[in-house]
Amino acid sequence: MKMDYQKIMVSRSLISTGNNFRIKKAIKKARQGEDVTIAYLGGSITRRNDEQKDRGFADASFRYFKERFATSGNLTYINAYLRCSF
C-alpha cells in the first residue's frame, strides 16, 4: 500500500483556514480590474537583502497573485519591512 505522506502532513498541520473573506474580496476586485493594494508588514516575512531582490516571500506571493488574478496593471505592492530587535 502506497502512503501519501504529503496529504497526511497537510491534514495534521492544518488546524484552521481562518477567515478568508478579505482575500476573496481582493481576488474578486483584481479579476474585475479594480485597484488592489497588497501590503506586507513585519520583519522576517518581508526582509530581503540586495542579493535576494525580488526573491523574498512577499515578492514571490505578490507575483503569484498578479499572474493568477490581475487582469490589468491594477495592483499596488507595498513591502514595509521594519527592522526591530529586542
What is the tally of structural domains in the chain?
1
In a domain, 30, yes or no: no
* Residue 76 structural domain: 38-86
**Residue 62 grid coordinates:** 505578490
Q: Would the pLDDT of 85 be above 90?
A: no
Instruction: Write down the pLDDT at residue 34.
Output: 94
In a domain, 16, yes or no: no
| DSSP secondary structure string for all residues of 2-51 | ---HHHHHHHHH-------HHHHHHHHHHHTT--EEEEEEESTTT---GG
- Read off the pLDDT of residues 40-66 as tens digits, 9 standing for 90 and up: 887 776 776 666 666 788 888 999 999
In a domain, 29, yes or no: no
Instruction: Write down the pLDDT at residue 13.
Output: 85
Please give the model's pTM, rounded to 2 decimal places: 0.70
Angle separating helix axes 57-69 and 21-31, nearest 10 degrees: 50
User: What type of residue is 70?
Assistant: A
Instruction: Write down the pLDDT at residue 8.
Output: 85
- Higher-pLDDT residue of 12, 76: 76
In a domain, 54, yes or no: yes
* Residues 35, 62, 38, 75, Cα dihedral to 10°: -20
**Residue 54 grid coordinates:** 525580488
Mean pLDDT of the chain: 83
